[in-house]
Amino acid sequence: MNGLTGANVVVTGAAGGIGQAVSAWLLAEGARVFDLDRRVPQVASGEFVEVDVLDEASVDEAVIAVTAAAGRIDCLVVAAGLSEEPTPAEDMAMTVWDRTIDVNLRGMFLTCQRFGRIMLAQGAGRIVTIASMSGNHVVNVPQQQVAYNSSKAGVVAMTKSLAYEWASRGVRVNAVSPGYVDTSLLASKNYLHAQWKAGTPVGRFAHPHEVAAAVGWLLSDEAGFCCGTELLMDGGYSLS
């Protein structure tokens, strides 16, 4: 895809299933990829930079490390995130709420803000956040996940807000909202798989490389008129 060959791309959450797939896909397109996470990805592909997305100093150090190595930052993919165990809202511990909101929303904003400053100074950049179908469609059966749903709705609103503020300064911001993706995180909840597939019209989970391809398109020149777009790819789950 045009605009990715030779581009310097940062991927947060690179040790996760979606993050690893995005990193590999972008490398295949000829990009230079920096994998940011607290742990080294099992399938190492890009250049690893350790980061804690909840720690301002850690994110700032990662920005310095990447800019020192690459000179400029062309693209950012924010894939760091987590989901809580299914819990009725009235029983949820505030520690669980805080952790989910902190990682999924605060950490994403902090990452976008700090790397976005570099892009704004350059006058160019492309950002894709990983949201979720849960940001628009309350996926509450069979699991109850008020914290996750709330955090991803916040990601969608944040993405659109940043897109509006930064578009005129050369930085495009968009989101991909996947449904259920076949990752190790999904595998850990195999007791829910039958119900999830039954609710998905295409009858299967997304492959990580399909999400990666959607991210890559939004980062590419071909998506140059996309601004604040949320690309929903849920196999039709939200149609019901």
Nearest Cα to Cα of residue 73 among 117, 107, 39, 40: 117
Q: Three-state SS for 49?
A: strand
**Active-site residue, selected from the candidate residues 148, 164, 191, 237:** 148
Give buried/exposed letters for 114-130 (b at 16+ CB in 10 A, else e).
bbbebbeeeeebbbbbb
- Pull the structure tokens for residue 223: 């998506």
Q: Hey, how many other C-beta atoms are within 10 angstroms of the C-beta on 94? A: 8
Distances (CA, A) of 122 to 35, 75, 160, 193: 21, 12, 21, 45
148 catalytic? Reply is yes
Residues designated as active site: 148
